[in-house]
Structure 1
Amino acid sequence: MCGRFAQYQPRDALLAPLHLSDSAIPYDPVPIGRYNVAPGTRVLLLNQRDGLLHLDPVFWGYAPEWWEKAPLINARSETAASGRMFKPLWRNGRAVVPANGWYEWKRAGDKKQPYFIHAKDDAPLWFAAIGKAPYDRPHEKEGFVIVTAASDKGMVDIHDRRPLVLTAEAALAWMSADTSPQHAEEIAHDGALPEEAFSWHPVSRQVGNIHNQDETLIAEINDPLI
């Protein structure tokens, strides 16, 4: 994880629980309508710049000039702060992906069944992210990655990794320029929502096609493969 997620509510609804006061984000009640966000596309990313919060369309993926493989889309919370690839991003490029949920594929032999995972109360989620700032200047293939953590309890039955989903308070602290890299590590450890905050259900395998984008993708199905 994380390889696909949903970002479909209006951005006003997604950001409302954060109670933003210091932001440069204009009012916009139009639904984003992305039920199948895939890597390699531009994603609305919440970040702090010049003392204000901004929402910028940023490339999902990170491949610096010396990296000869496909862009990476995730970074492990346990190692990102100290590794060669992500340490500079952890220090200066912390951001948040507002989302409504994400998809994971449960595997058994050659069978794969997608599940949609979301907050039990259907509240917006905030994925911890790191990337190449500043985000108002697009960098080709040097966008952002979603920070992941180990799954626990029942969620591990679907996948052993999940996005690091922050509480509202932790999300604001994570983005703050006043937060040190060391404090960010503490936030990653202590500010994440527990497994008990989520629900999940099987969904149509149509989510496997990135061209499918409608709301039927998050509907529960009655005949899962697994």
Structure 2
Amino acid sequence: MCGRFTLHASELEILQEYELDQEIPGYETRYNIAPGQDILAVIHDGNSKRAGFLKWGLVPSWSKDPKIGYKMINARSETAHEKPSFKSLLSRRRCLIVADSFYEWQRNENGKQPKRISLQNRKLFAFAGLWDKWEHNGKKLYTCTILTRKANEFMQPIHDRMPVILPKEAEDEWLAPVRMDPEQAHGFISNVPIEQLDAYDVSDYVNSAQNEGDHCIRPLA
């Protein structure tokens, strides 16, 4: 799964990386982003790309209870095209979830060791995401989920799952405002190559979602 990540790039870096024309109101750097929080995503509105915040934890438009979002922070890319919660979103509501690293916890004899994982060749990258709009009694929620895949050889000793990280050249195709058949979207994700990753141990300070700041990403002595 993917249950915690970081985004401490500057707003200018994000605007330049994703060729965005508008500023990002409310943006601030984050070192310990957790489920249930608002996370930065890029969508295509049919005219242009724009960035904004979506709540992490998908609430499908048809759901009666918004609390379902806490169970839907991730979607398995292998089966998302078969699931009612994700099938239609693969066709029409794809997004980029911007990050510069993510955390995973590796089991060892002492419990679990948190690790920070990033790309070797890129500072900023995007998880493949899906989003939806939920509305009930005048209340609106815009929420999202991160697609995951089976871990590659690098990640397998750490965890058996990992987020789908889009290569730079695949981002615009994923985001394009065109309908994809769910099977087509599944094939697209299945064929996305996995870029080279780096990982190092960090303090269990990051275990609590209430903890923030660059202490979260400092290498463990």
TM over 0.5: yes
Q: Percent identity at matched positions? A: 27
CA shift for structure 1 position 51:
1.9
Q: Is the Cα contact below 8 Å between 2:15 and 2:23 reproduced in 1?
A: no
Aligned to 1:53: 49
Residues of 1 paired with 2:193 and 2:133: CA distance?
23
Tell me which amino acid in the other structure corresponds to 1:90: L
TM-score, reference length from structure 2: 0.86
Q: Is the Cα contact below 8 Å between 2:200 and 2:219 reproduced in 1?
A: yes
Aligned to 1:215: 214
Q: 2:58 aligns with which of 62, 66, 78?
A: 62
Q: Deviations over 1:16-42 (max 9, x none)?
A: 344x2xx4x4246x9731000001011
Q: Is the Cα contact below 8 Å between 2:104 and 2:158 reproduced in 1?
A: yes
Aligned to 2:86: 86
1:147-166 equivalences in 2 (<5 Å):
147-166=147-166
CA shift for structure 1 position 87:
0.7
Aligned to 1:190: 191
Q: CA distance change for structure 1 residues 31 and 218 in 2, over 3 Å: closer, same or farther?
A: farther
Residues of 1 paired with 2:128 and 2:74: CA distance?
10
Give yes or no for the alignment of 1:37 onto 2:36. Answer: no
CA shift for structure 1 position 166:
0.3
Residues of 1 paired with 2:73 and 2:213: CA distance?
23
Aligned to 2:199: 200
Q: May I ask how many residue pairs the two structures share in their alignment?
A: 212
Tell me which amino acid in the other structure corresponds to 1:198: L
Q: CA distance change for structure 1 residues 54 and 31 in 2, over 3 Å: closer, same or farther?
A: closer
Q: CA distance change for structure 1 residues 45 and 10 in 2, over 3 Å: closer, same or farther?
A: same
Structure 1 unaligned spans of 5+: none
Give the SS at the match of 2:81. Answer: coil
Q: Deviations over 1:120-139 (max 9, x none)?
A: 135211100001059xxx83
TM-score, reference length from structure 1: 0.84
Q: Is the Cα contact below 8 Å between 1:164 and 1:192 reproduced in 2?
A: no
Q: Deviations over 1:164-210 (max 9, x none)?
A: 0001121110010125234422321223433xx11000001010111
Tell me which amino acid in the other structure corresponds to 2:218: A
Q: Is the Cα contact below 8 Å between 1:149 and 1:164 reproduced in 2?
A: yes
Structure 2 unaligned spans of 5+: none
Residues of 2 paired with 1:131 and 1:12: CA distance?
24
Runs of 4+ in 1 over 6 A off after TM superposition: none
Residues of 1 paired with 2:93 and 2:8: CA distance?
24
- Comparing both structures, which one devotes a greater share of its residues to strand? 2
Q: CA distance change for structure 1 residues 122 and 205 in 2, over 3 Å: closer, same or farther?
A: farther
RMSD: 2.4
Residues of 2 paired with 1:15 and 1:187: CA distance?
26
Q: Is the Cα contact below 8 Å between 2:81 and 2:186 reproduced in 1?
A: yes
